[in-house]
Copies of this chain bind each other. A is one copy, B any other.
């Protein structure tokens, strides 16, 4: 079976069939045909389309039910199918002992908007954004002397995601928390404490690329 997405223009008759099944389902194909003054054979393609497209469900010997799904709901499945692990990019990581100056350099060198900060064991300790760096530079201290862990957002206040999450859920988090970037992490245990290894990065750029992909009609990654 090939999963295919398509835009269908429902005919007036198909719309009518949906209405009839909504009101009177379960209802047999014969009964629907009767109501529309048509033969069962004429109706067969319409019923096949409405069933395949997910509007109606057919149960043998009982008849047709209304599935309760609308077109846009069916589309959303596709946009929701995209998964973080297929889209994440490499994280840019600096050590907790780095200075704000080091962080600004890494930001330009790697051409990213957000840096992830790791502790001496290599686990996620914080996140530094361009705004955090700008704010730090407004301060009186020399940025070579300010350690990045003073200005970063630190665990447990960091929004993370896992490689198995959907791109849709991450996009919602980016909007809800008003952030630009979310570290993709794998949870581990260290001395019985929950720690996070950074395995990737999802940003608004990632989501914008996924949108372009969807709108270009490029096939799904899998």
Chain A residues packing against B (C-beta within 8 Å): 1-12, 15, 41, 44-49, 52-55, 70-80, 104, 107-108, 111, 113, 130-131, 133-135, 137-138, 167-168, 171-172, 174-175, 178, 180, 203-205, 207-212, 214-220
Contact = CB atoms under 8 A, between A and B. Distances in A.
19 contacts: A3-B7, A4-B10, A5-B5, A5-B6, A5-B8, A5-B72, A6-B71, A7-B53, A7-B78, A45-B47, A73-B217, A107-B131, A113-B130, A113-B180, A137-B137, A168-B212, A171-B208, A211-B211, A214-B214
B7 A75 contact: yes
Contact of A6 (B8, B104, B204): B8
B217 A207 contact: no
